[in-house]
Amino acid sequence: MADRLAEILNAKKMDNKKLFLPYLTFGYPNIPIFLDLLKICQDQGVDAIEIGIPHSDPIADGPILQQSSYHALKNGVTPKMIPEVLSSVQFKIPLIAMTYGNIVYHYGIERFGKDYQQAGFQGLIVADFPLETLPMLDDLKEMLSVIILASTNTSIERLQKIGHESRGFVYIVSGKGITGKTNIDFEKIKPVITELRKTTTIPLLIGFGVNSPEMARELAVIADGVIVGSAVVGFIAQHSDDPELISKFAGYLSQYRQVLD
């Protein structure tokens, strides 16, 4: 399958744009507001949206994303509900599912790929699947670009394999720990990016701990863009009862977009 996600993101990169991918938890704080937030993301010029599938044991997620996931599950969100809801909504920008292996496995790997592709998803991140387990996803690779995570502790040999195998983009984890981590060591990230650029032309994006527009701008100097998760969901949580959430969210996203353009 042609790597359509990489093609779209590379085209934006060729325009000298740094890529901005916010993360939203599906169904948080509720489905109608979530859909409004998705539309605002598109209106504010984000390049793609990472959508977290709520999970009862999100081991890679920090407290903010965990709470949003638990809240969505309490509201009755299921993995099968997600493509059903999004199939009726048209978005012009790529959607990327972020999940865990047991969700994809229990859903049915090929069926997951078909359902999510038809709902507008172009990429998939399986947070707890290391490189060696990727063959398990072969049945959906014709439908979704499987994005692989790399980190500052990844060996050179492994980075080379990730560069060859990842599709869509390479997700560079800023450091050890869970999402929302704030201690980012720029000097450790730079060699990772240098090594990956030797083996791939797809975008290299940094996530985990990107908690302000200023930090996003600094990281975008060394990478092709950023993924902002806990900070975005934290903003939504902080304003979830505010009748002006939607307009405030638009202003919040615009701060990131402005520093990355």
Q: What's the CA dihedral at 72, 76, 77, 78 to 10 degrees? A: 140
CA–CA distance from 139 to each of 100, 128, 145, 146, 176 (Å)?
A: 16, 18, 12, 11, 31
Q: What is the rounded distance in angstroms from the CA atom of residue 104 to the CA atom of residue 112?
A: 6
Is 61 considered catalytic here? Answer: yes
Q: What is the rounded distance in angstroms from the CA atom of residue 213 to the CA atom of residue 259?
A: 7
Catalytic option among 50, 115, 195, 224: 50
Q: What is the rounded distance in angstroms from the CA atom of residue 257 to the CA atom of residue 20?
A: 7
Which residues contact residue 138 at a Cβ distance below 8 angstroms, ignoring those fewer than 6 apart?
Answer: none
Catalytic option among 61, 115, 195, 224: 61
Q: Give the gyration radius of the chain's Cα atoms.
A: 17
Which residues contact residue 170 at a Cβ distance below 8 angstroms, ignoring those fewer than 6 apart?
Answer: 147, 148, 149, 150, 162, 163, 196, 200, 202, 203, 204, 205
Place of tokens 């047991």: 102
Q: Please return the burial class of 81, using the count of CB atoms within 10 Å of its CB with bins 0-12, 13-18 and 19+.
A: middle
Is 261 considered catalytic here? Answer: no
Q: What is the rounded distance in angstroms from the CA atom of residue 202 to the CA atom of residue 148?
A: 12
Catalytic residues: 50, 61
